[in-house]
Structures are given as C-alpha cells and as structure tokens.
Amino acid sequence: MAKNTAPYILITTILLLTGSAATALGQAEGGPQDRVAYQDIVTIDGTPQHDVVRPAAESAIALKFKLKDPWHFYADPATAPGGMDLKIKPQGEGITFGEPVFPPSTPYFDESSGQRLQAYGGEFVVYQPFTVDAYAADSAQIVIGIDGAICSESLCMRPAFEKLRVQVPVSPGAPMDSPAFQLPREGAGGLKTSQTIDSQQSLAAWVALPLALLAGLILNLMPCVWPVLPIIVMRLLEQSRHSRARSVVLGLAFCAGIVLFFVAIAAANIVLRVSFGTVFQWGDHFRNPVFLIGMVILMVVLGLFMFGLFGIGVPSSITGRAQGGKGFAGSVAMGFLAALLATPCSFAILTAAFAWAQTQPLALSTAAILLIGVGMAAPYLVLTAMPGLLQAIPKPGRWMELLKQGLGFVLLVIAVKLLSGLPDAQKVATLYFAVVVAFSIWMWGAWVSYETPPLKKWFVRSAAFGIALAAGVGLFRPEQKAIDWHAYDAARIERAVSEGRPALLEFMADWCLTCKVVEKTVYERQDIADLLKQKGVLAVRADTTLRDYPAAVDLKNVYHEPGVPVTILLLPDGEEPVRLHGVRIGEPLKEALEQLPDAKESERK
C-alpha cells in the first residue's frame, strides 16, 4: 500500500519510470464477455440479477472478484495513490446506471508508511444497479470498465482490464420474480457507493486546493520575486496613467500572464499523464525502494538549494526581455516573464508541486497547479488596482533569507520521514549517498565562481558529478547472494563441527566500515562462494552490532577476539581454527578452503 501524501504540496518526488501495465485476458471486442482476468491474479465475473428484465424496472449486475492471495485492490480513495482505488465505469445505450455498491473493506497495515489502510481482497462482490429505458430493444448490452491498482506486499500493478460485457434480454412481460441475488441496501453494513467516494475525494480537494493557493502566495516571498515586483507593477501603472480602467485591464493582463506560466506547467502535467499514464500511475510508488531513495536524495538537494549552497539562474537573454512589451499583449508577456524570473527561488516549491501532481487525479492536479498561479498573481492584481500599497511592501532583507532556509529544514524532515520506509541496509547506503551528493553539490556551487576559467569550471564540476555517480554505483550495487549465509547459532555451529563439517564465522557489525569492505571484496567473490559450497562449509554471518548479541558475547568469551572484522574457520577433528583479521583476507581464506576435502553431496545443500 502507499503512503498518502496528497494534501501536502511540499512532499517531493523523483518520478522514476517503471514498466507499463500488461494487457488483460479476454475475448475479442464486440462479443459477450462476462468474465475478464489478469494473468492468474484476479478474475472478474459479471452475473445479471435477472435472466430477463422489463423496461423501466430496476435490476443489477453482480461483479464477482476473485483475487489470489496476497493481492488486493485499494478501497479508500483518501489513501489510494493517484486515485488508484477500485472504480466501476458502466456504459450502455438506453440504460441508466445507479451508483455502484461496494462491500465493506478490510483494514490493511502498510509497514512502509506506518498507516492503516483499507483494501478489498480474496473474494468479494460489487453490485452495479441499472434500469433499461422504456424504449429499449429486445436486448441490451452492458459494458463495464474496471480500473484500479492491484497490490501484493512487495509489488503493485495497474492492469488494463478488457471491458466486461453482459448481454441482458429485455421483455415487457418479464416476471423478474426469481432474482439470482438480492441487491444489498446501499450504506448498510459498511457498504459504500461512489457518492461516498466522491465525498472523500472532495474532502481531499478541500485540503489540497487551499494549500496550492497558499503555495502561490508564498512564491511572492521568495527573494528573487521582490526586486521584480515593483519594477513591473510600476511599468504597468506608467502605461495606464491616463485611465484607471486601462490600469485595471493591464493589471488583469499581467496576472493572466503569470497564470499562463502555470497553465504551461499544468499542460505538461496533462501531456505526461495522458501519454504515459500507465507508467506514472503504475502501482504503489512508495513501495519501490528505488523510488524512495530518489525522493530522499531530491529532498536533500532541494534543502541545500534553500540553504543557498547552489543556485539556478535564468539566462540574461530572457531577463532582458522583461523590460520590453507594451499594451495588452506586452502585459501578458511581462506577467509570464515575471513568473519565469521567480523560478530560481521557487524551484523547490514548483518541483514539489509538479511531482505531487503526477500522483493525483488529473482534475485535482490541474486545479492545484493553476491555483498556485492564481495565488502568485493575486498580490500583483491588488497592487495594480491600489498603487498606494506599493509603499507598504516590506523591504527585502534577512527575514526573507531566513524564511527560505527554514523551508529547507522542512524538506530535510520530510527526507527523514521518507527514509524510514526503506529497508535497514538501504537506509545506511542512502544516508552515505546523501552526504556524498551534498559534498558534490558543494563542489559544484562553491568551488567555482563566475570568474572561474571555463576549463577549471568544467574540471571541477565534472569531478563533482563523477564522485556522486561513483558513490551511487558503489553504494547501490546489487547485492551478490552467492553465499547462503546463516544467522549465528552456537548450537548449530557446534553440531556441524562435531559431525565433521567445517564452519566459517564472519564476525561483523553494522557500524564497522572495514567489515563492509570485507563483505564486498571477499565474500562477493564467486571463487570463494564456489569453494564454500564445494567443501560443504557452513557459512555463518555473526552479527556483533550490539554488545548483548550472542555473537558479540561469544566473540569475547569463547573465541577471545578483541573486535571485528575477524573471520574464523572452524575445522573438524579438533584442529586449530584458522583466524583471519583485517581486510586483506581473500587469498589466505582461499588457500585454507582449498586444503579442505570436498564435501558429500548432502553437505553441499
């Protein structure tokens, strides 16, 4: 399940493209098709309530879902990401449809987000009421579309289900006295209709849209905006000094130019959603570790931007055009450029808003982006209509920079929250990578200046990029699992040695950097893994991270070793163990393993 971040404009994402939805199984277009399926995960059967229906009489279709465990649909639109809760979309000529009636959902605890969500799983039924119009023909075909994400504990998909088609005979004399099922009363026993869903989505909109308007207003507090605002407003007033009406018209045109900039952003969002909708809305992004890692790093980068560690400039060729433009068209152009000129300081907020919009229903995301533009344009309109207020504008100062830096800390808090959804091993790697990225950004922005020679600037920034890239490749390299490691168990180790089987004990700790080096340089070697299997060695990874761990206690009291990393090869027949310390143990370990006799086939498994 996903973490629901819909109301929070500042929650930022790196949208990583992940595969497209597969095509569902079904019959060819146009024929009766009362069952659709997706692989062996889910089947959906459509069963009419009556064999024959009378015109103007109420009936229903029972949609019987059967999901393979542990797959489930999202049930609650308030927590489903990107509007990916289960939706029923009926169509039919000459047919009036009622609201679908959903069954009670079941609670589901999502470990990655720490939230209790609602889901549909196993076998359940959704009822679609309908009424055939009085002038209907002898037969009516009901076509039902099904949309929504199906998820397991580790994977989410958005299947492209075929349309489910149910042919319903129509006769004025149909008795309709032997229904196949009784339609549940809407709202009873926890049942919900799509009206309930709409009200929940409206609640989310009532939270998200005011925040979008507030985000637009905040853009006017960014340091880049204040020098631009008085200049452009005074230009508008100068153009309209002979007419108050003209002042208002040009002010509206200027505000329209600002909103036009956000219309362009909304249009880009729509194009991406329409063109790649099955990609951006595919499954549960917050269950994808790569996605979470990317978001954490982006949060850190945006936080560093807020702290002023690096900047994003607008070319001077563009800024110079802000001085030109007359009349209505010129005011629109200046408004557009005003929004564009604000982007160096509003970069983090705009990136957050655009990323958030990619995970929301299209109508809500479009409205939110446009409201950001309205929020940014509102002060300009007021100042244009009431020029005397220009004198009350607070002067740019340290308070604006402190506000910007404060937002940077908010982004870091969000990064920490997102980090909590990662597995423990990836948390550590992500933290290291975030530090390296921060160092690389520091190199990029602080080691060069405007006067730096181009060759030196190119060298420094190439080195910064290379450091970050190398760290990412090294820290997130796919883990090699050639060795079948076992947890430390003293009794099992003793039993193996007494039965004549060697045991390899790798004593390590999560806080030990040299232990990580040993794991990468020694125990990911294929020749070492092959020897361990060939010789039938019991491989034990002994975790000594905390002092009360059994491996930590035995390391001191049984094996009399002062610390980690240390590898101990226990030999059968009471022979002296082989002890290897430090990092460069690959070759000595290989020689020790080669001297062991080959194991029996049973010991290799």
Q: What is the pLDDT of residues 210-221, one digit of tens each?
A: 877 887 887 777
Beta-bridged to residue 72, according to DSSP, are: 121, 151
CA dist 545 and 509 (Å) reads 4
List pLDDT tens digits, range 154-205: 667 778 788 899 988 888 888 888 888 887 765 444 555 555 545 544 445 5
486-487 and 538-543: which strand pairing? Answer: parallel
Could you give the residue ranges of the DSSP H alpha helices within 522-600?
526-534, 550-557, 586-594
35-190 CATH fold? Immunoglobulin-like (2.60.40)
What's phi and psi for 543, nearest 5 deg? -85, 120
Would you state the pLDDT for residue 321? Answer: 47
Best-predicted range by mean pLDDT (15-24, 113-122, 430-439): 430-439
Question: End-to-end alpha-carbon separation of the chain, Å?
Answer: 36
Q: Considering only 14-23, 142-151, 235-244, which range has the smallest mean pLDDT? A: 14-23
Q: Is the pLDDT of residue 594 over 80?
A: yes
The DSSP secondary-structure symbol of 170 reads: B
Q: Examine the pLDDT at 27 and tell me if it is beyond 70.
A: no
Closest by Cα among 156, 160, 81, 120 to 364: 81
Q: Output helix, strand, coil percentages for the chain, rounded to the nearest 5.
A: 45, 20, 35
Percent of the chain residues topping a pLDDT of 90:
19
Residues 6+ apart with CB under 8 A from 43: 35, 36, 37, 65, 66
State the residue for tokens 């520091």. 442
Average pLDDT of 267-277? 66
Find the Cα–Cα–Cα–Cα dihedral 131, 135, 137, 139, rounded to 10°: 10
Domain 486-604 is in which class? alpha beta
Q: Is the pLDDT of residue 569 over 90?
A: yes
CA separation for the pair 255, 338 (Å, rounded): 10
Any long-range contacts for 387-390 (C-beta under 8 Å, 24+ apart)?
Answer: 387/233, 387/237, 390/230, 390/233, 390/234
Distance CA 12, CA 417 (A): 12
Q: Which residues lie below 8 Å from residue 30, measured CB to CB, with a gap of 6+?
A: none
Are 38 and 26 in contact, with CB atoms under 8 Å apart? no
DSSP string over 250-310: HHHHHHHHHHHHHHHHHHHHHHHHHHHHHHHTSS-GGG-HHHHHHHHHHHHHHHHHHTTSS
pLDDT-derived band at 604 (thresholds 50, 70, 90) equals low
Cis peptide upstream of residue 227 (ω within 30 degrees of 0):
no
pLDDT at residue 348 greater than cutoff 80: no
Domain boundaries, the chain: 35-190, 201-422, 486-604
Residue 234 has a pLDDT of: 61
Cα-to-chain-centroid distance, residue 63: 31
The reported pLDDT for the residue numbered 489 is 92
Given a cut of 50, whether residue 322 has pLDDT beyond it is: no
Q: How far apart are CA 358 and CA 277, in angstroms?
A: 9
Comparing 101-115, 420-434, 492-506, the range with the smallest average pLDDT is: 101-115
pLDDT digits (tens, 9 = 90+) for 480-532: 567 889 999 999 999 999 888 999 999 998 878 788 888 888 988 889 999 99
Of 125, 148, 120, the residue nearest 49 (C-alpha)? 125
Inform me whether the pLDDT recorded for 425 exceeds 80.
Answer: no
What share of the chain in percent tops pLDDT 70? Answer: 69
pLDDT band at 17 (very low <50, low <70, confident <90, very high): very low
Contact 112, 421 (CB under 8 A): yes
